[in-house]
Amino acid sequence: MDTVATISPELRMTGNRQIVLEVLRGTTAHPTAHQLFLLAREQQPQLGFATVYRTLDLLVKHHLAQEVFRDKDGAAHYDANVTRHDHAICDRCGRIEDVSAPLHALAYAIVERSSGFHIQWHASAFSGLCADCAADAE
């Protein structure tokens, strides 16, 4: 099941952009722009970080990636999975897990009913202890 379009008609897929997109698709770690820069630079040593930021903007505009949340430092985290989903962040090990439950659909209904908002976008991040760390902490 491929939920993500491989190419976008309007976006010229240069070598740099291809590498950034491949690196993002090759991880489930929800990297920041800077983390992506470090990974992509392994394959393209003269890559500049401004290119990564510009590429991420383009990928988001063309729905090939999404910014999923901002961490406590204010750094944006990206995901090549462009379906709407939420995230759970472990305060202990730093793991970031997708929340696959259709929370957003429920949330939209509740928010729209209670406030009258017509929701177009949302970001939810939950933090605490992941199952493994909670077990360790006992």
Partner DNA sequence: CTCCTTGCAAATGCTTTGCATTTAT
Partner DNA sequence: ATAAATGCAAAGCATTTGCAAGGAG
Query: Pairing between strand 86-90 and 96-99?
Result: antiparallel
Among DNA, its own copies, none, the one that 7 touches (CB under a kind-dependent 5 to 8 A) is: none
Query: Of the candidates 91, 93, 94, 136, which one interacts with its own copies according to CB under 8 A?
Result: 91
Among its own copies, DNA, none, the one that 100 touches (CB under a kind-dependent 5 to 8 A) is: its own copies
Three-state DSSP state, 99: strand
Three-state DSSP state, 102: coil
Query: Of the candidates 8, 22, 27, 49, which one interacts with DNA according to CB under 7 A?
Result: 49
Q: For the CB of residue 121, give the shortest distance to DNA in the complex, in Å.
A: 16
Q: What is the DSSP string of 39-69?
A: HHHTT-TT--HHHHHHHHHHHHHTTS-EEEE
Check residue 29 and report its DSSP letter: S
Q: Which residues bind DNA (CB under 7 A)?
A: 11-12, 14-17, 32-34, 44, 46-51, 53-55, 57, 70, 73-76
